[in-house]
Structure 1
Amino acid sequence: MQEASPQLENGYTRLANELLDALIGAGLTARQWAVVMTIIRKTYGFNKTSDEIGLSQLSAMTGLDKSNLSRTVRELEVARVINRSSGTHGHTLSINKHHKQWGLSNQQPQLPKQQRLSNQQRKGCQNNNSGVVESTIDGLSEQQPQNTSLKTTQKTTPKDNLSRSLRERFDAFWSAYPRKKSKTAAEKALAKRKPDEQLFADIMSGLERAKTSVEWLDKTYIPYPASWLNDGGWMDDYTPAAYTAEQLAVMDAFNGALGESLGEASPEVFSAERAKAIDAFLGFRPKDPGFWQRYFPWVAGSVTVPPHCGFDYLISREGFSIVSGGQHTRKDAA
């Protein structure tokens, strides 16, 4: 059997010392401790503060049966050690890091004052009448400990509309969507769709078609992401955007002079950003509108291009200014 060799580079759970100290002194039972550590592993272990954790997951990690787990979770919730709220497929659990609100205590329950026996009294009774003392102690041991829990009023944490898998998919969608408006509404719209892997792939594919369409060239006409999701926008027909004849001519001029050495600018895959950059490039010298026809051949013959130089750099304001200003002009150029 190969010996275990835990390494930090294989993953670790980051936990504040103050919170760990509070847990150590909280007087948790073995079951409560197992549940708390599982929640910490599933949340802080993934750099999250809460997660949707079902009883099956808790059972798999703790080895406890679901009936005991359900009761233990309720105990921890009542004691405000953990927070529990409704999730998409179950309950969302998190540690209540405000440990001063916890109702658990590591102190042993105290007997009522009139029932306490001092050590001296107990010693004297043992000497004089041990039978009475034993009877008294036996009677006290059968009494139920006092309830030391605090009030169970609990403020629920804000509900996350998305499970962990949906959260990851939403983050990818939100990152790709060009008009970032009303994020909470967009989260709810995606949660309502509950896309599996295939549906999400269709959504992202439709989004890419929309982003390179004529309809979305003007961003003011791009719908809010929630509206797009609610209306099934990924299933719409879009007119693919294309470069204008003048934009294509600029790309052809570059490809003819520098495409072999620097890599060709593809006219087949439309990019709104590149089209906009070409239009800006054409306006650099308004008094010499045909300058671009001479620009690329001149670069090919007279300029030592900087590293990673390409079409987009040469037509950018920065690249055009540096190159045309002679910074990279060959010293032996005619």
Structure 2
Amino acid sequence: MTTPQTENGFTMIANELLETILGSGFSLHEQSVILTVIRKTYGYGKKEDDMSAAQIGAMCGVARQHVTSALNALAARNVINKRPGRFGMIIGIQKDHRRWFSKAQLRSMTDSPESGQGSPKSGHVQNVDADSPESGQVDSPESGHTKETLPKENHQKKTSCAPQADRDQVAETPAGQKGRARTGIAADLQDRFERFYAAYPLKKSRGAAEKAFAKIRPDEALLAEMLAALEKRQVSGTWLDPKFIPYPATWLNAQGWADVIAVEYSAPVHEVIDIFNEVLGQQLGEISLSIFVPAREALVTEFLTFSNKPDLARRYFTWLRDDNDLPPMIGFDRLIGRQGYADAIGGKFTRKP
């Protein structure tokens, strides 16, 4: 069973825009592509993002060639803006839906003798075939495909050494864990993600983690900082309980590697633990100083306020050892806690004569 929560991420979209999308007669492929673009932009608080047809298709379950067709058709109708990017195309929604063109308007413009090769204002080309993967590119500066850039892009497609290479210029790499296709992200960035994910103590929502990681695009220096922060978390003991470990995507989006983490006990707390180990360690079990537990730091700090007399810890632990019958399951944290201290001072464990 899964219980999605908004605190794990959500996509904000105006009702007016969503209703327009639902009522504009888009095909199933076009609507899937639109919603995926919205997820990858508005879902991360961005107006546009660098994405490939393969990446979009993997998210919405549409074949890459159909995604390419849908993107061309949507750009022709001025529903999206796109231009060449690093991994594919930088794509964003044209939020002013009054500037969108219906299919009928598009046909009338492309069929009109006055339209020639397309209107620069409309951003359309003649004979746009929304069902063909080889449909014409949008002849508009906003879309990113102009007459000057088309020959260069076509040349790149023809000279590709991979027959099935992604026409959105995305480097495809071998499948990753469990056959997941490693597309839409540079191989070196994917390798960094694998190292990060292997080190992260909670393996949850890998897909969301990959997207968050790709958004940050850490170099080797930042990855090293992330891994060092994860190691500190392990040493600090703050993540000993899995319920306190955030999902990896949540940690990445919150820049968790920048958190200030205490990794060792303060000198007064260290001294109290040393005295306990010396006096009661053999009887009740020693407390490790190698793993920092923030809750224990707070407990000992409070314990030191229970009396103004000097050497409280030694006097208290020695008295517990010599004059009390302590239960076998009682431990350090209970004895120094406020309730445990009150129970001991109140005579709950005092040895009967």
User: Is the pair's TM-score, using the shorter chain for normalization, greater than 0.5?
Assistant: no
Please identify the structure whose Cα radius of gyration is greater.
1
TM-score of the pair, normalised by structure 2 = 0.42
TM-score of the pair, normalised by structure 1 = 0.43
